[in-house]
Structure 1
Amino acid sequence: MNEAIFQHPYAMNRAAKQAFLMDELTRLTDFHKCHCEPYDHILRTVPFESEITQVEHLPYLPVQLFKMMDLRSVPKDEVIKTLTSSGTTSQQVSKIYINRETSELQSKALVSIVRDFIGKQRLPMIIIDTKNVIKDRKAFSARGAGIVGFSNFGRNHFYLLDDNMEIDWDGLYAFLEKYKDERIFLFGFTFMIWQYFLKVCLDKNIQLPLDNSILIHGGGWKKLSDESVSNEIFKQSLFEQFHIPLVHNYYGMVEQVGSIFMECEHGHFHTPNFADVMIRDFETLKPVMNEKRGIVQVISILPKSYPGHSLLTEDVGTVHGEDNCPCGRMGRHFTIEGRIPKAEIRGCSDTHAFDQQNGVNM
C-alpha cells in the first residue's frame, strides 16, 4: 500500500480519492467474499447493485451483523486480538477479529490522523479513565482499544481515576506540578470525562492549570444528550473550568478501529485518504445530497481480517461539503446528530454506564 496516504492523511482531492478507494474496496470485497463464507452468502442473497462503477455501489453490511455472527476472513490462528463493542441489556457485543496486517494498518492510520492534529512530539499524558480497562491485551473493549491506541501519542502516562472511579488528586497535582512548563495531552471517552472529571470539579469548584493542553475525546454522547449536554456546552464547560484551549471530538467505532474521523477547529469531522463516509436516505437507502440528513455509512480500506470495510451504522449525520472546509483539509467533512430513533445503544463508553446499572464490576 502506498505509504503517502498515511504521510499526508488529508491531501487527496475528490477525483484521486474516489479512484483510489474504488480500486482498494473492490479488491477487499472480492477477498472477503472468497475467505468469509457468511459474507459471501449475504452478498449472494441481498440484492445490491449489479453493476459497480462507483464507491456508492459497493455492498455494505449493517453494523448489527457483527453482534449476530462471527465474521472473519482469516484463519483463527492468525487472529492476534479480538475487539468487542460495549454490552447492552441483551448482552450482545460485536466481535472484531484482528490479524497482524490489519493491526499494523490501523496503527499507521491512527498515527497519521492524530499527528495531523497534535504534532509528532509525544506529550505528557493524562488518561481520564482507570487502568483496569486495559488489563487483557488480547481481548479489548472499544474503550480499552481506544486508550491503548491513543497512549502511543503520550509519555509518562497518568491514569486519573482509581479502581472506584474516583480522581487520584495527589497523583494529579504531582503530575501537573512536574509538567507545568510543558504541553499536556489529555484523552478520554466523553461520558467518562463529563461524569467523573468535569462534573466532580464543577461541584467542588476546582479549577486546574490546563491552559497549555489539548484534549481528544469520543464516544458516550447518548448519556450526555440525555442530560441535554451538547458538544458546544461540553467544550465551553471545559474551557471555563480548566481553560483547555484545544478540544477535539472524534467519531469512530470498534467495527472500524483506526479509521477515526477527527473534529477540526470548525466543528467538522474529517475523512482521511483511506476512509470515507456517505449518507443514505432513511427509507430508500439511496445516497443523498450534501446538507441532507440520513443514515451514516462508513468506509475504510483497513479491515483485512474481517469484512468491515463498508458498514451501515445506526447513526444520523450530514455531509456538509468536500475539499472545501475552512480548515484546509481535503475530503468530506460532516457532522453527527445522534442515533437513529429506537436503535440499540452502542457507544464506546456506554459500557461503564450499563455496567453500573446492572451491578457489574469492571
Structure 2
Amino acid sequence: MQNIFNIKTEADFQKKCLETFSYQYENLEVYRKFVDYLNINPDEITEVEKIPFLPIEMFKNHLVLDKNSSAENYFQSSGTTQMTRSKHYIADFGLYEQSIYESFAQFIGKPEEYIFLGLLPNYSENPHSSLIYMVDFLMKKSGKPENGYFLYNHGELFELIEKLSGENKKVILFGVSFALLDYLDFCNSQSIHHLNTQKLTVIETGGMKGRKKEMTKDELLKIFQIGFDTDGIYSEYSMTELLSQAYSLGENIYESPKWMRILIRNTEDPFSYVEEGRTGAINIIDLANIHSCSFIATQDLGKVENGKFQVLGRIDHSDIRGCSLLVS
C-alpha cells in the first residue's frame, strides 16, 4: 500500500482511505463487527463519506488492533481511578514518530532548530501518555542540552526562558492549558513578568476541565499572549486514540497534515454530514492509525471551513477527556 506520507493529491488521499478501510475491515475484528452490525456491505463503500466511523468509546472497552499485531505496547488516556480509560495499542512506534516529525516540520519547523521545554511530567513519570511520548521524541530530535521538563519548577523555568530569550534562542514551551495558567499565576505571585520573548513559542495542548475556571479558547490564548509576552501562542489537537496531530497557529483555527482529515457529522444523524461552516461532531480520518482504526467518531464539536477546522467544545454528555488530568 502507498506510504501515507507521500500523499500529494485528493485522488491519492481517497484511494488510500478506501484501501485502509478494506484492510481494517478484514483485519480488525471490532471494526468488522461494528460495520456488520450496521448492515453495511463493505464492497459498496466506494467513497470516503460512506466509510463508517468507529465511536471513540470503543477504545475504552475493546481491543482496537489488527490481527497481525501484538498487544504489547500502548498509550493510555489520563483520568481518575473511577474512569474507564482508553487504551491505544501501538504496533509501530516508528510510524508514530514519523507522523510527529512530518506534522511538526510542516506547521512549526524542523525540531532540530528548537529548544523544547515542557510543563508536563517527564516520560519516566508517565510512559503511556502519547503527548509526553511526542514531546520526548521532539526533544531527542532537537538534541539541545537545555531541553527539559519543568512541571514543578516554575522559578527555574522562568529563569531559563529569560536566559534563552536574552541569547535569542528559538524555544518551544509545550504545556497543558491549566499547567500554563498555574505557571503564569506563579509569575504574578512573584511579581515577575516575561519581557522580550518573541523567540518563544507556546504550544498549548488543551486540558482545563475540572482544574480551572472554564473560559473560551480565545480568552485563554489572550491570557497566554499577555503573560508570555509573545504572539507565538499555538495549539495542538490530538488524542490518545490518534497517531497524528493538527496544529493551530492562532485564532483557534487548525490545519491537519495530508494524511489526516476532519469531517463534521450531524449530531442528530451520525451517518450524515453537515454543510461547510456548520457546527457538528468531529469525525477524524487518521491514516497513521493503520494498525488500529483510521476512522474515528469523536465526542468533540467543531466546524470546517476552507479545509481548516475549529474545535468548539465537547458534546454535553461526554466524559472529561484525559489531558486536563494528565498531571493530577
For residue 94 of structure 2, the aligned residue among 89, 104, 118 is 104
**Residue type of the alignment partner of 1:55:** V
What letter corresponds to residue 21 of structure 2 in structure 1?
Answer: T
Cα displacement (A) at 1:91: 2.7
Aligned: 1:68 with 2:55:
no
**1:30-59 C-alpha deviation (Å, 9 max, x unpaired):** 222222223222221123476323211011
1:250: how far off?
1.6
Q: Following the alignment from structure 1 to structure 2, what is the Cα–Cα distance between the partners of residues 83 and 141?
A: 6
2:218·2:252 contact (CA, 8 Å) conserved in 1?
Answer: no
Cα deviation per residue 1:249-308 (whole Å; 9 max; x = unaligned)?
121111112x211113454111221010110111112111111111100001111221x2
* Structure-2 change in CA distance of 1:212 and 1:61 (3 Å): same
CA distance in 1, matches of 2:304, 2:291: 29
For residues 47 and 149 of structure 1, the distance between their equivalents in structure 2, rounded to whole angstroms, comes to 42
Letter in 2 for 1:118: I
Secondary structure, in 3 states, of the residue corresponding to 2:209? helix
C-alpha distance in 2 between matches for 1:160 and 1:128: 5
Q: 1:110-152 CA deviation, whole Å, 9 max, x = no partner?
A: 2122122332243222211232xx1178x51244234324434
Cα distance between partner residues in 2 of 1:294 and 1:334 = 11
Q: C-alpha separation between the residues in 2 aligned to 1:58 and 1:253?
A: 21
2:106 corresponding residue in structure 1: 116
Measure the CA separation in 1 of the matches of 2:173 and 2:16: 35
Partner of 1:348: 323
For residue 12 of structure 2, the aligned residue among 6, 20, 37 is 20
**Kept in 2: contact 1:317–1:336 (CA 8 A):** yes
SS at match of 2:326: helix
Q: For each residue in 1:57-111, what CA deviation from the matched residue of structure 2 results, as whole angstroms up to 9, or x when unmatched?
A: 011100000001112114564x5621111224633111111112xx222222221
Contact 1:143 1:189 in 2 (8 A): no
Match of 2:51 in 1: 58
CA distance in 1 between partners of 2:116 and 2:288 (Å): 27
Q: Which runs of 5+ in 1 are unaligned?
A: 322-331, 356-362
CA 1:146–1:108 in 2, change beyond 3 Å: closer, same or farther? closer
Pick from 84, 87, 97 the counterpart of residue 92 of structure 1. 84
Q: Is the 8 A contact 1:214 1:247 kept in 2?
A: yes
Query: Which sections of structure 2, spanning at least 5 residues, go unmatched?
Result: none
Partner Cα separation in structure 1 for residue 245 and residue 160 of structure 2: 32
In 2, distance between residues paired with 1:215 and 1:49?
46
Aligned counterpart for 1:199 among listed residues 185, 192, 199: 185
How does the TM-score come out when normalised to structure 1?
0.80
Please state how far the C-alpha of 1:337 moved relative to its aligned partner. 0.7
Q: What is the CA distance between 1:6 and its match in structure 2?
A: 4.1
TM superposition shift of 1:25: 2.0
CA 1:82/1:232 → structure 2, altered by over 3 Å: closer, same or farther?
Answer: same
Question: For the residues of structure 2 that align with 1:309 and 1:53, how far apart are their CA atoms?
Answer: 16
Q: If the length of structure 2 is used for normalisation, what is the TM-score? A: 0.87
* Percent of residue pairs identical: 21
Deviation at 1:21, TM superposition (A): 2.5
Provide the residue aligned with 1:135 in structure 2: 124
In the TM superposition, 1:163-174 aligns within 5 A as: 165-167=152-154, 169-170=155-156, 172-174=158-160
Matched residue SS, 1:104? helix
Q: Hey, which bits of structure 1, 4+ residues long, moved more than 6 A?
A: none
